[in-house]
C-alpha cells in the first residue's frame, strides 16, 4: 500500500457502500477498506421472495471477496463497528481498529418498533436474510402444525397472517401470501382442504396503501389485494401483540400467531457521533455533500442520513435504493476532485414501483411522468429488479426461478432449514 494514499473506510456493503467502492476501485491515491458484519451483499427488495420460498438466498446474495476480485486498492474486513474516535481518525471494530482519512457510514436502517416491546419481541421483521429465512421456517412450521391438529380456532390462528405496514414490502408480502393461500397451500397441505385456513390482513396507519405513490397506483393496489382476499385496515395501527392476539388502535383484535413487521425503519447510532448530529428517526444530518454536520471527514449515505439541502426534497430524501446509489456515486466522484470543485447532491427521482402478484404491479415513472399497472408494470418490475442484481449469475438464477414459478404457478424452495434455534436479527445487515 502506498503510504501517501488516502485511507477510505466504508462501513456497510449495501447499495451505497458498494457503489462508492465501485467509484474508487483501482483509483490511484486511494486505499479503500469495506467493513460489513456479513461476508456477503444481498438485495433487500427481493427479501420477501426468499421469505415466501420463491427464491433461494444465493439468488439475491453474493460474497464480498469474490465481488472485490481485481479491485486492487480495495480490502474487506468482516466486523461490527463498535466506536468512532473522530479526534484520532480511527474506528474501533469488533476485531481490531483501523485508521482513516475519510470515513463513510452506509449502514442502512433497522426495523422501527416505535417502543412496542411485545411487538419487537414477537413480530417477524423483514430487514435481513436471517429475517427472511426465519420467516420462511416459521410460516412453514405453523402450517405443518396446523395439519396435525383438530382445534379449528388454533388452525385459524396458525394460518392467519397480519402484515403491519402498507408500503411496497407490506403490499408485496400480502399479495404473495394471498396467492400462496389460493394456489399452493391447498395443494401442499391436503389436510387443510375445505377448511378456513386463515386470513391475510394488511394494516397501516395511513389513508392509503403505497402512500408515497400516485392515486392510480394506490387504488389499483388496494383493489387487486382485496380481489385476492386480503383484508385491508387503513387508518389503524398495531398497539400490541401478545397471547396470539394483535391489538389494533381502533379497539379491535386479530387472533393470530404471526405478525410481520414492515411498518417503519430507523437508523443506527454510533458511539463517537454526538446526539446533535442525528435528526428524525436517528438519521444523521448531512450537508449537500453528504458530510455529517460537525465533521470534516466523516460522511453518511443512504437510509442512515437525512439531507435537507436538495431544493426538491426540503424534508429529506425518501429511504430508497436509488437515493443511496446516487449519493454514493456523487460522493465517489467528489472524493476524486479538489474540495472546491465538488458538486452538491441533487436526487434524480426515477419513480417507484411495487408488485402485487402474478401479472399485477404498479409503476410510477417520473421522467416522463407516466403510470402503468397490470401486466406492463409487472414486466417493468421484473426487468428492473433482475438488472439491479449484483452479477450475471444472480440475474440468470433469479430469472430462471421466476420463469419456472410463472408457468407452474408454484415455487420450489419451501424447505425448513435451520442453523440452530436463532431468533431473527433486529438490526439491519450493514448496508
* Domains in the chain with CATH codes: 6-37+79-109+267-341 (3.50.50.60), 117-263 (3.50.50.100)
Q: Which residue has the higher pLDDT, 186 or 348?
A: 348
CA separation for the pair 95, 82 (Å, rounded)? 10
Edge-first strand order for the sheet with 360-365 is 351-357, 360-365, 370-373
CA separation for the pair 41, 63 (Å, rounded)? 6
| pLDDT at residue 368 in the model | 82
Query: Residues for the chain: how many in total?
Result: 431
DSSP SS3 for 223: helix
Burial 133-145 (b: 16+ CB within 10 A, else e): bbbbbbbbebbee
Q: Is the pLDDT of residue 267 over 70?
A: yes
Query: 112: exposed, middle or buried (C-beta count within 10 Å: 0-12, 13-18, 19+)?
Result: middle
Looking at residues 28-35, what average pLDDT do you find? Answer: 97
Average pLDDT, the chain: 91
| pLDDT at residue 294 in the model | 95
282 — pLDDT class (breaks 50, 70, 90)? very high
CA separation for the pair 295, 278 (Å, rounded)? 13
pTM for the model stands at 0.90
Q: Is the pLDDT of residue 394 over 90?
A: no
| pLDDT at residue 427 in the model | 45
428 — pLDDT class (breaks 50, 70, 90)? very low
29 and 8 Cβ atoms separated by less than 8 Å? no
- Beta strand residue intervals within 121-199, DSSP E: 124-125, 161-164
**Alpha-carbon distances of 339 from 224, 299, 335, 342, rounded to whole Å:** 51, 14, 8, 6
Highest mean pLDDT among 125-129, 286-290, 408-412: 286-290
| pLDDT at residue 420 in the model | 56
Could you tell me the three cell numbers for 66?
A: 469474490
248 and 204 Cβ atoms separated by less than 8 Å? no
Element (H, E) at 74: strand 74-78
Looking at residues 186-209, what average pLDDT do you find? Answer: 87
CA separation for the pair 251, 294 (Å, rounded)? 46
* 71-126 pLDDT per residue, tens: 999 999 999 999 999 999 999 999 999 999 999 999 999 999 999 999 999 999 99
DSSP class of residue 337?
A: S
DSSP class of residue 359?
A: T
Would you tell me how many other CB atoms lie within 10 Å of the CB of residue 121?
Answer: 12
Which contacts (CB < 8 Å, 24+ apart) does range 283-287 have?
283/316, 284/105
Amino acid at each position: 500500500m502506498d503510504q501517501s494514499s488516502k485511507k477510505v473506510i466504508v462501513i456497510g456493503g449495501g447499495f451505497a457502500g458498494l457503489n462508492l467502492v465501485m467509484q474508487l476501485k483501482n483509483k490511484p491515491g486511494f486505499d479503500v477498506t469495506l467493513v460489513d458484519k456479513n461476508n456477503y451483499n444481498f438485495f433487500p427488495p427481493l427479501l420477501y421472495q426468499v421469505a415466501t420460498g420463491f427464491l433461494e438466498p444465493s439468488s439475491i446474495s453474493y460474497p464480498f471477496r469474490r465481488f472485490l476480485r481485481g479491485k486492487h486498492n480495495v480490502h474487506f474486513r468482516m466486523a461490527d463497528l463498535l466506536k468512532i474516535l473522530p479526534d484520532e481518525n480511527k474506528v474501533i471494530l469488533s476485531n481490531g481498529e483501523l485508521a482513516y482519512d475519510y470515513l463513510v457510514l452506509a449502514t442502512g436502517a433497522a426495523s422501527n418498533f416505535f417502543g412496542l416491546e411485545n411487538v419487537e419481541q414477537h413480530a417477524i421483521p423483514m430487514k435481513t436474510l436471517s429475517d427472511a429465512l426465519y420467516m420462511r421456517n416459521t410460516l412453514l412450521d405453523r402450517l405443518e402444525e396446523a395439519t396435525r391438529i383438530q382445534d379449528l380456532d388454533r388452525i385459524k390462528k396458525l394460518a392467519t397472517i397480519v402484515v403491519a405496514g402498507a408500503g411496497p414490502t407490506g403490499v408485496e408480502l400480502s399479495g404473495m401470501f394471498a396467492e400462496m393461500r389460493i394456489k399452493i397451500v391447498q395443494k401442499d397441505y391436503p389436510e387443510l382442504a375445505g377448511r378456513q385456513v386463515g386470513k391475510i390482513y394488511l394494516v397501516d396507519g395511513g389513508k392509503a396503501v403505497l402512500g408515497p405513490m400516485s392515486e392510480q397506483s394506490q387504488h389499483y393496489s388496494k383493489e387487486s389485494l382485496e380481489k385476492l382476499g386480503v383484508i385491508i385496515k387503513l387508518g389503524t395501527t398495531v398497539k400490541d401483540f401478545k397471547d396470539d392476539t394483535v391489538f389494533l388502535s381502533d379497539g379491535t383484535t386479530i387472533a393470530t400467531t404471526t405478525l410481520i413487521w414492515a411498518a417503519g425503519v430507523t437508523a443506527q447510532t454510533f458511539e463517537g457521533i454526538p446526539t446533535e448530529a442525528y435528526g428524525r428517526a436517528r438519521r444523521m444530518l448531512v450537508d449537500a455533500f453528504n458530510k455529517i454536520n460537525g465533521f470534516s471527514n466523516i460522511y453518511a449515505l443512504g437510509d442512515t442520513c437525512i439531507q435537507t439541502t436538495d431544493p426538491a426534497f426540503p424534508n429529506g430524501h425518501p429511504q430508497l435504493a436509488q437515493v443511496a446509489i446516487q449519493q454514493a456515486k456523487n460522493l465517489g466522484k467528489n472524493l476524486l476532485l479538489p474540495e472546491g470543485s465538488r458538486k452538491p447532491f441533487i436526487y434524480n427521482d426515477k419513480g417507484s414501483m411495487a408488485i402485487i402478484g402474478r401479472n399485477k404491479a404498479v409503476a410510477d415513472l417520473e421522467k416522463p411522468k407516466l403510470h402503468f399497472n397490470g401486466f406492463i408494470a409487472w414486466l417493468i418490475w421484473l426487468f428492473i429488479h433482475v438488472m439491479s442484481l449484483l452479477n450475471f449469475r444472480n440475474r440468470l438464477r433469479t430469472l430462471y426461478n421466476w420463469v419456472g414459478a410463472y408457468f407452474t404457478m408454484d415455487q420450489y424452495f419451501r424447505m425448513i432449514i435451520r442453523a440452530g434455534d436463532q431468533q431473527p436479527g433486529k438490526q439491519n445487515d450493514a448496508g
